[in-house]
Amino acid sequence: MNTQRPSFEKKDMALSSSPYVYLPVDIPAYTVELTHRDPIDGELLQRALGRTLQRMPYLSDTLVIEGGAVYYAKNPLPMEAAHVAGIRHVGGSETNYHMLDLTWDGNVTWFTMFHGFCDGQGINAFLESALYHYYCMKDGVEYDPNGIRSDNTQATEAETFEPFSRQYEVSTDFAMPERREMPTAYHLPEIVPNPGGEVLEYGFRLPSEALMQFVKANGTSPSVMLSMLVGEAIQRVHPDADAPIFVNIPVSVRRQLGCEETFKNCSSRIILPVGGTPMDALPFNERAVQLRAMLKQQMNADKFRATYNMLGQMYRGRMEHATDYMEELKKPAGFMSISHDTFYIDYIGSMHKTGYSDQITDVRFLCTPAGGRSLHLNIIEHNGEFRITCLACSDISAIADALEQVIKGHDLPVKRMPVQRFTLPLTCWREGII
């Protein structure tokens, strides 16, 4: 592999990417796989990619290192919608050092990112724009973009805003809650840490209308409800669990920080006890309401702003005063020590609904389980269905079976999907740098 890396013109510091770019290990790719009703026209897809990058040129940037600091940088090399059956090594010479990539084969497209470049909402902006332009040209229709960034709109400075660059104002009467040591979470004995290995995927589909009626009837939200159902399944398989069952729910904090448009990493997490606590004695609906209240309590804007002030100062100091990137990699990254608890559930939501949505027949978010040691669930709503996907690097069929029975036990219609497997390549963003 060619390791002669070109020189790129640096831009702003990649501050919010620090938890990823300072990991001493490479990170597997994060990919969104979409199945389309019709075969892909590669020439049109390339033109759609060009229109997307003309609207959002920052998505073609790369990352560079100067001393110990990491920067976004202009990358003038072409970005290709490559005819490849699968996922490429994003960030290196194979993708012209771009941190986002697009491949296609038959009726499938793969949109891939390096998580240190952007987060899930960042890649959503990328794929939705490319698909919008593709289907407008393919169908000869100027579809309503319905919130998608199309080339009929103008880019704003807010789209490239760096969340860690601002000192956020916090209410004068706000006091950061006292840190309390959390009890050790129950760890599933089925889970075998294997962050770079094969991932098993257990899928379920529920009608959106039925699930949302159930959610509303119990006074809660989809992420809380689905976390409760998974917690029930775990308790069925492990009735003698000797520690509480905690769920880790990642959340975007764009609204709380006033940077809704940025594509850069802007996330936090919520921790909820969904099993093995005195709350188990409450009726199901009361527990659902209380857990949603706990989620809302943790979504305090002042708390996020105070946390980002602290993290921004810490990472800026680390990057501005670093003298050697390799030495920085030897220091604790912080991100590695985050506990993902019993399981991790990412409520991704749904793509913007458009006139061509029914032509996209399936959506899969492919990633390695968080931290390599958790049961990881992705929740996607698409074309009238909630798609619940359980990911693990080891056999969790007993938990999947129990989850199916729990869902049916609440009188919800559910369709079980065949088990699938995939392996993700490591990102190559350091190729030619170190």
User: What integer pLDDT is reported at residue 371 of this predicted model?
Assistant: 66
Q: Is the pLDDT of residue 266 over 50?
A: yes
Mean pLDDT, rounded, for 217-235: 97
pLDDT at 162 over 90: yes
| pLDDT at site 109 | 98
DSSP SS3 for 415: strand
pLDDT, one tens digit per residue, over 87-96 is 999 999 999 9
Q: Whole-prediction pTM value?
A: 0.94
Can you read off the two tokens belonging to residue 266? 């802007």
- Evaluate whether 351 touches 383 at the Cβ level (below 8 Å): no
List the CATH code of the domain at 9-156. Answer: 3.30.559.10
97: left (phi over 0), alpha (psi -120 to 50) or beta: left
- Token readout for 349 is 């939501």
Query: Domain limits of the chain?
Result: 9-156, 199-419
> In the predicted model, what is the mean pLDDT of residues 5-20?
92
CA distances from 192 to 203, 298, 347, 372, 397 (A): 20, 30, 24, 8, 14
381 vs 24, which has greater pLDDT?
381
Both tokens of 416, joined, read 């079980």
Two tokens at 347?
């409520």
Work out the pLDDT band at 14, boundaries 50, 70, 90.
very high
Over 50: is that where the pLDDT of 17 sits? yes
Q: Confirm if 15 and 316 have CB atoms less than 8 A apart.
A: yes
What phi, psi does 388 have (nearest 5°)? -100, 120
Helix or strand (DSSP H, E) at 364: strand 360-366
**pLDDT over 70 (residue 129):** yes
Mean per-residue pLDDT over the chain, rounded: 92
How confident is the model over 317-344, as a mean pLDDT?
75
Query: Is it the case that residue 195 has pLDDT exceeding 70?
Result: no
- Look at phi and psi of residue 3 and say left if phi exceeds 0, alpha if psi is from -120 to 50, else beta: alpha
| pLDDT, position 215 | 97
**Cα separation values, 307 from 163, 170, 176, Å:** 12, 10, 9
Per-residue pLDDT tens over the stretch 97-112 = 999 999 999 999 999 9
Given a cut of 60, whether residue 336 has pLDDT beyond it is no
Q: What would the mean pLDDT of 105-130 be, rounded to a whole number?
A: 96
Contacts of 316 (CB under 8 A, 6+ apart): 13, 15, 164
Give me Rg for the CA atoms of the chain.
Answer: 22
Percent of the chain with pLDDT over 90: 79
Over residues 135-144, the mean pLDDT reads 97
Q: Which of 34-48, 240-254, 318-332 ranks highest by mean pLDDT?
A: 34-48
Residue 327 has pLDDT above 90, yes or no: no
Judge whether 9-156 and 199-419 match in fold: yes
DSSP state of 352: P
- Taking the alpha carbons of 88, 92, 95, 98 in that order, is the dihedral positive or negative? positive
For residue 335, pLDDT over 60 is answered with no
Structure tokens at 230: 């998974």
Q: Which residue has the higher pLDDT, 365 or 432?
A: 365
User: How far is 115 from 123, CA to CA, in rounded Å?
Assistant: 9
Is the pLDDT higher at 212 or at 317?
A: 212
| Interval 254-282 mean pLDDT | 94
Q: How does residue 1 score in pLDDT terms, banded at 50, 70 and 90? A: very low
Q: How many CB atoms lie within 10 A of CB 162?
A: 19
Has residue 325 got a pLDDT over 90? no
Contact 66, 10 (CB under 8 A): yes
H or E stretch at 272: strand 267-275
Cα→Cα distances 290→65, 219, 286, 293, 324, Å: 46, 9, 6, 5, 48
Q: What pLDDT, on a 0 to 100 scale, did the predictor assign at position 372? A: 56
pLDDT in tens, 41-62: 999 999 999 999 999 999 999 9
Nearest-angstrom CA–CA distance, 382 and 405: 23
Does the domain at 199-419 match CATH 3.40.50.300? Answer given as: no
82 token code pair: 């490559």
Residue 78 has pLDDT above 60, yes or no: yes
User: Cα–Cα distance between 356 and 430 in angstroms, integer?
Assistant: 38
Task: Yes or no: say if 431 and 91 are a contact pair by the CB < 8 Å rule.
Answer: yes
Residue 334: band (very low, low, confident or very high) from pLDDT cuts 50, 70, 90 = low
pLDDT of residue 136: 98
Q: pLDDT exceeding 70 applies to what percent of the chain? A: 96
Query: Could you tell me which residues come within 8 angstroms of residue 2 by beta carbon, excluding any fewer than 6 positions away?
Result: 93
pLDDT per position as a tens digit, 284-295? 999 999 999 999
pLDDT band at 407 (very low <50, low <70, confident <90, very high): very high
